[in-house]
Amino acid sequence: IMLSFICGKSSLRSSLVPHRRIQRIERRWNGTLQNKWETVVGLEIHAQIATQSKLFSDAPNQNGEGYALPNTKASLMDTALPGTLPVLNRNCVDNAIRTGIALNSKVNRTSSFDRKHYFYCDLPHGFQITQHREPIVTGGYLDLKLKNEEKRRVEISHIQLEQDSGKSIHDQHPDLSLIDLNRAGAPLMEIVTRPDLRSSEEAAAFVSKLQELLRHIGTSNANMDLGEFRCDVNVSVHRFDDHTTLGVRTELKNLNSIRFITKAIEYEAQRHIDLMENGETVKRETRFFDPSTGTTYSLRRKEDEADYRFMPEPDLPPIHLSEEYIENIKSNMPELPDVTRERYVKELGLLPYDVEVLIQSGTIRYFEEASKGRNPKKTAAFITNDIFGLTRSKGLPFSQIPIPASRINEMMEMIEEGSITTQTGKDLIALMMEGEKRHPKEIVEEKGWRLSKQSLDDSITKLAKELVAANPPEVAKWKQGKQKVLPFFVGQIIKANQGKVNPQSVTDIVKKVLDEA
Amino acid sequence: MTTMLWLRSNWNRTERKNGLIHINDHNRGIKNEMKGTKRGKRFISMEKKKEKTKREDQLNFLSLNEAKEWLEEGKTSAEELVEASLSRLSMWQKRLNPFISIIQREELINKAKESDELRKKGKKRGKLEGIPLSIKDNFCSKGIKTSCGSKMLSNYIPPYDSTVKYKLEENGGIIIGKTNMDEFAMGSSSTNSYFGPVVNPWSFNLNPSQEAPQKGDVVAGGSSGGGACSVAGQFCFGSIGSDTGGSVRQPAAFCGIVGFKPTYGRISRHGLVAFGSSLDTPAIFAKNVGDSALLLESLSGFDENDSTSIKSKPIDYHSILKEDLSRGTDLRGVTIGIPKEYYVKELSDEIYSLWMKGAERLEKAGANVVEITLPNTKNALPSYYIIAPSEAYSNLARFDGIRFGYQLKGETSEDSYSNTRSEGFGDEVKRRILLGSFALSRKSKESYYLKSQQIRELVLQDFERQFNGGIDLILTPTTPTPAFPIHSKTNPVEMYMNDIMTIPASLAGLPAISVPVGKSTESLLPLGLQLIGPHLSESKLLQVASFLEVEHTFPNLLS
C-alpha cells in the first residue's frame, strides 16, 4: 500500500508551492524507504460538452441518462456516408472558450482541426477529427486547496475540441460485435494538465474541482458514471533526490470513478517503485485498470502504438475568433465558484458550510433567485436545511428541487414582514414539497396562517396577562430590573402558539404587560 | 424507390455472370418499344424513320443556350429533347460507355412532361428548365446508384442528394444519368473504371454495333471522361464532373469541348464523394463558353453543408458575355501572361504552335500578351501526387465494408477490412492509398507531406505575384499531347505527366477553363488551351475564353 507521494522537484512543481515546503517535507520523510520516491501525475480528461447537437452534425447530442435505441441518433455525417462534410457547431466552440476562460487560459484567436487516423469498427470515418496542432485553448491553471490548507496550482497544457467515437458492444452476440453510433461525433473537450499533481489525493481533488467548475459554468454535466467525464491518468515515479528527469510514465485507462482513479494511481506508483527498487525499469506503455482486482495490466507498449498519420482537416477552415467575440463570452460568464465562495462569506455573511453545500449541490442559481431582496443568511439556512433535507428524502437530485425558487422568495418575504412565522415557513415548504402548486400567499390565506397583527397582539396580550397573573414571583423579579425573566414568559407564549408568532413582537408585548402589572 | 437500369458494358465477363442488369436489358427495353410502334404501323416508311433521326440529330447537336431558346420559343419540348437523348444513347452507350447509370426512360419522360407542364403554366423553375444534363457518378443522388466507378460502391444507393444535383434540378434541369469515370476520380484516362473504359467520341471507325473498347480507340481523358463523352457525343447539353488535378479540363480538351473549373469553393462539394478534399472542385462540361456560363450561374453559391464553399452573389455570367459581344467589346486593357515553364519537353510541336496562335488571336483582339515566369511549376506535379494521395488515403478510410458498400467478410474484423479493401478497390486506388499512407507516416511526413504543402504555397505565391503584378489571365496548353490510345500508357508516372499543365491551378485553387482551339493535323484529334485567372475571376475568364473559341466550329460528330 502506498503511503504518500509528495512533491519535491522544483522544476516540475508549480510556482505556488513555496520552496521551504520542500525542505520541510524532505526533512519529514528523510530516512524511510518510501520517501525516496516521488509520484508525478498528469491527467487527460475528456469532458462531453453539454450542447443540443453534435460537434459536426445536427444529430442530437445525448446528455444524461436518456436512453435511445442504437443508431437512432446518428446523422448521415456521423455514419461517414460518402460525400458528407463536417460543419462545426458554434455552441461547442463557445463552450470550449467558456471553459478556457474559467481555467484562466489563453483562448487562441486561430485554431484548426486535424484528422487522426486509425481503423476501428466504431470509428466510422477511419479518423477522428481533433485539434492536434492548434488547439482552441492553451495554458491556464486550476488552484486546489489541499487538506493541509495549502494551495496547489495545477497548470493546464491545453484544451482541444474533438469528436467522440461510437460504441462497440462485444458481449451481446456469440460471434458478432455490435456497433452503436449514437455517440459517434459527440462533442468532447480534451483537457490536458501538466504533470503537476503529486498524489492520488491531489488527482482526486483536481477531478472533483474540475467537475464542479464545468457544471457551474454549464459546459459539461461531467457525470463520470454516464461517461460524460472520462479520465486518463499518466503516472510516473522518480527519485526524490533526482531533480533532473521525470521517471518513465505509464498511461492508465478505464478509470470511471474518482475512487478508481485513486486506487489505480496508488497501485501503479507502487508497481513503479517495486520495479525500480528491484533494479528493473518501467516501460512506457498504456495500461488498463481492472476494478475487480484493483490492479493494472499492460494494454499496449509505446512501440506498438499506431501511427496516426495526422493530417490537417481539409473540410474545415481554421476557426478565427475576434477579440470582441471572446470578450463578449467573457462578459457573459457566470461568477466562478471560488469567487462565489469568497463573496458569499464576506459580503452576504453566509456560513462557509452553507456556501460549500450550495456550490457543490449546484444550486447557486436557485439560491440567488430565492434570496433576491431577502435575507441571504436565512434563505440559505432554509435551502440547505429544510429544502435539501426534504429533497433528499424524496430521492431527488438537488438539480430537481420540486419548489420553484420564486415561491421560496415569496415565502421569505412574508416571514420578513412578520406576517408568518419561521415555523409557518417550514410548514409551507413541506406542503409545496408534496405537490402544492399554489402561491404561498394563497396557502397561508386558506389555512388562516396569516398573523393579523391586531388579533394576534390581542391574543398574545391576553396570554401574557394570564401568565403575569399566575406568576407573581417572576413579576417581582422583573420589577427589580431582572431582564432574565423575559424568556420565561416569551418562551411559553411562543410554545402556546406553536411557534407561529414573531418572537420580537412577543417580547415587546410581554415587556409592556410586565411594566403595567 | 427510383427504378432504373444499371448500365454496364459487356467487357467484364465475370460480372455479367453475377446477374446484374446490364446494357443489353436496357437496349431490349428501347428496342421493344420501337418494335411495338412498328407493329402498330407496319408500313412505316424508311423516309419517316430517316426524318425522325434527322430531327433528333438536329436537337442533340443544339447547344444548351440554343436548346433553351427552342424551348422558350416552343420549337421543341423537354419530352422531345429527352427522347432524342435516349434515342442517341441507345445507339452509342455500348460503344462509347459514357454512362454508368441511365435513369429509366419512363421516369425521364415523366419528368420531361412535368417540365413542359410547368413551362406552359408559366412556372419555369429556372434557367435549365427542361434541359437534359448529366452528372458524374461521384455526385450522390438519392435513390440512384452512386458507384464512383468502383466495385466498392457498385451497389451503393445514397439516401440523399448532392448539392450539385439538387441545384441542377432546382433550376429545372433533367438529369438523364450518371457518367462513367476513373475509379474514385483517380486517373487521367477513364480506363480505371469498374464499369469499363470510356471511349473518346473522336476515335476513328466508330461502329455502333461493336462494344467498347476496340483496337485503336482513344481515351476520353479522365477522370471525368464519361461526362466529356456525354457532352461531346451530343447525348446531353451539359455535364458536371469533378476536377481535382485536371479531371474536367483534360477530358474536355481531349473531347473538343469546354471544361471549366471554377474557383475552389465556388460550387459546393456537399455530396461529392471526396478524393482530395482540398483540391476537389465540381466543374462544368459544356459545348461552348456561353453554355458553361449558364451552368456556373445555376450551381455557384454558398452552401451551409460545405464549410469551404464561398459566400458570393449569383452572377449572370451569360448575360455579361452576351452584352460584351453585342457591344463589340474587345480585349483592350487585358494583359495575358504566357508562362515559359509550361514549355516542357513533353509538349508536342502542334500544341505549341496552337498555343502561340491562341496568344496571337488574343493579341489581335486587343490584349497585351507578355511572357511571364512561374518558377515553381516544375515542382507542382510531384507535390500534387503527394497531397492528393494523402487526402485520398484519409478520405477512403471509411470504406471498410461495415456500414455501406462492398464487403468481403473474414475471420476477424482486421481480415474483413483487408479482404474488403483488397477486393473492393482497383489497382490505381490502392497505389494512391499506399502512397498517401507512406507520405503521412511518422518517418516520411516531414520530407514528403509537409514539403509538398510548402511547394503548394510557393505555387500559389507564383500565381499571386503575377496577378498582383498586372497580369489578368494566364494562357497555357491544357495538355501536352492529344488523346492517346486506350491502354497505351502502362507506366503510372507517364500517366501522371498528363496533368502537368492543369495541376498548378488546382493546387492554387484558381479558376481555369479549357477551350477547344483546333485539331491535330497528325491525329485529327481535338486540342485545347487553358486560361487561368485569379480567385473569383470567373467573369473575366469567360469573357476572354469566348474570344479564344469563337472562330472554331467543329464538324458534327458521329452523325
DSSP bridge partners of B475: B531
DSSP 8-state class, residue B233: T
Question: How far is B97 from A491, CA to CA, in rounded Å?
Answer: 104
**Stated pTM of the model:** 0.84
**pLDDT per residue as tens digits for the range A311-326:** 999 999 999 999 999 9
Element holding A200 (H helix, E strand): helix A200-217
Please report where in the chains the cell 464545468 appears, as a residue.
A214
Angle, helix B23-40 to helix B78-96, in steps of 10 degrees: 130
**What are the φ and ψ backbone dihedral angles of A109, each rounded to 5 degrees?**
-65, -30
CA distance to A9, A40, A248, A272, A410, per residue, from A240 (Å): 7, 11, 14, 14, 60
CA dihedral for A100, A106, A109, A110, sign (positive or negative) = negative
Angle, helix A453-470 to helix A503-516, in steps of 10 degrees: 50
Amino acid identity, position B478: T
Q: Is B277 on the interface with A (CB under 8 A)?
A: yes
What's the residue count for chain A?
Answer: 517
Q: Is the pLDDT of residue A416 over 50?
A: yes
Torsion angle, CA of A16/A19/A25/A30, rounded to 10 degrees? 150
- CA proximity to A262, closest of A252, A248, A249, A250: A252
The helices-and-strands tally (H runs, E runs) of chain B is 19, 12
Question: How far is B261 from B529, CA to CA, in rounded Å?
Answer: 13
A149 C-beta neighbours (distance < 10 Å), count: 6
CB contact under 8 A, A119 and B270: no
Q: Which residues fall within 8 angstroms of residue A460, CB to CB, at 6 or more apart? A: A493, A497, A501, A505, A506, A509, A510
Burial (CB count within 10 angstroms: exposed 0-12, middle 13-18, buried 19+), residue B470: exposed
Could you tell me if A99 and A137 are in contact, meaning their C-beta atoms sit under 8 angstroms apart? yes
Give contacts of A179 with chain B, Cβ < 8 Å: 402
Q: Is A303 on the interface with B (CB under 8 A)?
A: no
Question: How far is A253 from A204, CA to CA, in rounded Å?
Answer: 15
Could you tell me if A359 and A341 are in contact, meaning their C-beta atoms sit under 8 angstroms apart? yes
Q: DSSP per residue over B508-541, as a string?
A: HT--EEEEEEEE-TTT--EEEEEEE-STT-HHHH
Q: How far is B39 from chain A (nearest CA, A)?
A: 47
Strands B335-339 and B368-372, how do they pair?
parallel
Predicted confidence band at A65 (pLDDT cuts at 50, 70, 90)?
Answer: low
Question: How far is B461 from B508, CA to CA, in rounded Å?
Answer: 9
DSSP bridge partners of B136: B179
Question: How far is B226 from B247, CA to CA, in rounded Å?
Answer: 11
C-alpha cell of B352? 505549341
Q: Is A395 on the interface with B (CB under 8 A)?
A: no
Burial (CB count within 10 angstroms: exposed 0-12, middle 13-18, buried 19+), residue A325: middle
Of A81, A119, A311, the CB nearest to B400: A119
* B409 annotated active-site: no
Tell me the longest C-alpha to C-alpha distance in chain A: 98
Give contacts of B146 with chain A, Cβ < 8 Å: 82-83
What's the pLDDT score for residue A395? 83
DSSP 8-state class, residue B82: H
CB contact under 8 A, B307 and A317: yes
Q: Is the pLDDT of residue A160 over 60?
A: yes
Q: Is the pLDDT of residue A495 over 70?
A: yes
Torsion angle, CA of A157/A159/A160/A163, rounded to 10 degrees? 130
**pLDDT per residue as tens digits for the range A370-400:** 999 999 999 999 999 899 988 888 888 777 7
Could you tell me if A160 and A198 are in contact, meaning their C-beta atoms sit under 8 angstroms apart? no
Selecting among B94, B127, B136, B489, the annotated active-site residue is B136
**What are the φ and ψ backbone dihedral angles of A516, each rounded to 5 degrees?**
-80, -20
Stretch 81-140 of chain B: residues touching chain A, C-beta under 8 Å:
138-140
Q: Is B441 on the interface with A (CB under 8 A)?
A: yes
Selecting among B247, B506, B539, B546, the annotated active-site residue is B247
**What are the φ and ψ backbone dihedral angles of A283, each rounded to 5 degrees?**
-100, 140
Cα B129 off chain centre by: 21
Which of the residues in chain B have pLDDT under 70?
1-45, 550-559
Angle, helix A486-496 to helix A453-470, in steps of 10 degrees: 130
Question: How far is B380 from B245, CA to CA, in rounded Å?
Answer: 10
Selecting among B9, B193, B223, B506, the annotated active-site residue is B223
Give contacts of B404 with chain A, Cβ < 8 Å: 81-82
**Average pLDDT of chain A to the nearest whole number:** 87
Element holding B6 (H helix, E strand): strand B4-6
Where helices occur in B365-511 by DSSP H, the ranges are 377-395, 413-424, 427-440, 451-468, 492-496, 503-508
Could you tell me if B390 and B436 are in contact, meaning their C-beta atoms sit under 8 angstroms apart? yes
What's the pLDDT score for residue B309? 97
* B364 annotated active-site: no
CB contact under 8 A, A311 and B398: no
Amino acid identity, position A56: F
Q: DSSP per residue over A426-453, as a string?
A: HHHHHHHHTT--S-HHHHHHHHT-S--H
What's the pLDDT score for residue B44? 55
Stretch 348-377 of chain A: residues touching chain B, C-beta under 8 Å:
none
Predicted confidence band at A175 (pLDDT cuts at 50, 70, 90)?
Answer: confident
Question: How far is B229 from B231, CA to CA, in rounded Å?
Answer: 5
Angle, helix A200-217 to helix A352-360, in steps of 10 degrees: 70
Q: Is A316 on the interface with B (CB under 8 A)?
A: yes
Q: Is the pLDDT of residue A1 over 70?
A: no
Q: Which residues fall within 8 angstroms of residue B215, CB to CB, at 6 or more apart? A: none
CB contact under 8 A, B307 and A87: yes
Element holding B409 (H helix, E strand): none
CB contact under 8 A, A315 and B437: no
* B136 annotated active-site: yes
Q: Which residues fall within 8 angstroms of residue B361, CB to CB, at 6 or more apart? A: B547, B548, B551
Pick among A53, A309, A313 to test the B interface (most B CBs inside 10 A): A309
Return the ∠ at Cα B302 (arms to B297 and B304), rounded to 5°.
Answer: 145
What's the pLDDT score for residue A142? 97
What's the pLDDT score for residue A356? 87
CB contact under 8 A, A83 and B402: no
Three-state SS letters, A262-312: HHHHHHHHHHHHHHHHCCCCCCCEEEEEECCCCEEEEEEEHHHCCCCCCEE
What's the pLDDT score for residue B254? 96
Could you tell me if B126 and B297 are in contact, meaning their C-beta atoms sit under 8 angstroms apart? no
